[in-house]
Each structure stands twice: as structure tokens, then as C-alpha cells.
Amino acid sequence: MLLLAPLQVVIFLRGASDLDLQFTRATQQQRQQFEQLEGALRDAPAERLRQGWLQLKRLDPAIAPATLPAPSAQLDDLIAEANRNTSLQDLRRQASGARFALGRDSLRVLLASLVYGWAFWAFWAFFRRA
């Protein structure tokens, strides 16, 4: 049991390292997807930007404002909305939750192994005296 205690530290460090690596990969993938979307928006014709902006604002063309913002403002709104919708916050929450669960479980096993080791030592010492 006492050999299990130091092993938990190694397991936690290795698991935390793996979680960080996976988070970094997922973050890079999300950023690449956002950059591709941003590039596609920048290359889109003005009419497509207008349609996307109207859809984003959920405006009915019949009640659309008399003057639409300039295409650059529409593009900025669409890019800002795409940036808000990326799941980087979700990734951070998931990584944080996984790291917490790993630490909690490792600490639980560490404490249990120390308690069992101490209890076995106490019983051994008690019965040895008797």
C-alpha cells in the first residue's frame, strides 16, 4: 500500500501533462478552424456577407433597416460572432474539470493507501507486542 502512494504523484503528473497536451492540440485545431472561417468570410462577396449578417441579426428582409451597415461592419459583426461561438471556453472548462477529477482521484487513492498502510502497521505493531 505504501508503494502505491508515491505512484499516485507520478500518475497525476503524467495525467496532467497528457491533459495539457490534448488541450493544446484541441485549442490549435479550434484556432485553425476559426482562421479558415475568417478567411472564408473575408473572401465572401458583399451579397453573401449581407445575407449572413441579416441571418445573424435574424432580421426579416421586409423589416430590415433602411440603411444596412457597410460591408466591413457586417464582416466585423460576423467575425465577432464566430469568435464568440468558438468552443474555446468549453474546452477550457472541460480541461479544468478533467484536471480536477484527476487530482481528486489521485489524492483519494493516495490518502487511502496511506491510511491503509498506517492501519496495517498499527495492527502489526499491536499484534507483535501481544
pLDDT at 106 over 60: yes
pLDDT reported for residue 60? 57
Mean pLDDT of the chain: 85
Tell me the CB-side half-sphere exposure of residue 104, using CA atoms within 13 A.
6
pLDDT band at 100 (very low <50, low <70, confident <90, very high): very high
Distance (Å) of CA 26 to CA 18, 44, 97, 122: 12, 27, 15, 49
Mean pLDDT of 88-115: 89
- pTM greater than 0.75 (yes/no): no
